[in-house]
Homo-oligomer: A and B are copies of this chain.
Amino acid sequence: MAKKPIELGEAELAVMRALWDHGAQTVREVMNRLHERGKNVAYTTVLTFLTRLEQKGVVASDKRDQAYVYKARISRQSVTISRIRSLVDQLYDGAAAPMLAQLIENERFTPDEISQLRKLIDDLDPKHPSKGE
């Protein structure tokens, strides 16, 4: 069977972000990160999230001193990939290229991003090795 796609809500994702951005933390620390970002959630709310996330298997906890320290067990990348994947499947029948084309045409990119993008594309194409330089 395929690995069940782990569903993460928006607020749960914000918690994951705190862990990705600042490493393993206690409930209180995560709460502070969220507050810094303008999410004024209650301590117990954060605790609930972390608990649920642990049940989902995406974070792990470790008792240290008085409090548990939580750390992410999945990467930001894996979440990105799975989100994109499901979007592509749902809206473009799995064909990523048309979707990417949409993005390229509609997003505003800085010149810098554009060259990065080109490099990425070039790396896919053996005929255009963007090596050297």
Please, how many angstroms separate the alpha-carbon atoms of A108 and B124 in the complex?
9
Please, how many angstroms separate the alpha-carbon atoms of A14 and B76 in the complex?
26
One complex includes copies of this chain to the number of 2
- Say whether A118 contacts B115, CB under 8 Å: no
By beta carbon, the residue of chain B nearest A103 is B84
Contacts known (A102-B77, A103-B84, A113-B96); A90 close to B121, Cβ less than 8 A = no
- Say whether B109 contacts A115, CB under 8 Å: no
- Expressed in whole angstroms, the minimum distance between the Cβ of A59 and any Cβ of chain B is 16
Please, how many angstroms separate the alpha-carbon atoms of A96 and B102 in the complex?
12
Q: How many interface residues does chain A have, given as a range?
A: 35 or more
Please, how many angstroms separate the alpha-carbon atoms of A80 and B84 in the complex?
10
Q: Can you name 18 A-B residue pairings with CB atoms under 8 Å?
A: A10-B90, A14-B90, A77-B106, A80-B87, A80-B102, A80-B103, A81-B102, A84-B99, A84-B102, A84-B103, A96-B103, A96-B109, A97-B107, A97-B112, A97-B116, A111-B127, A114-B124, A114-B125
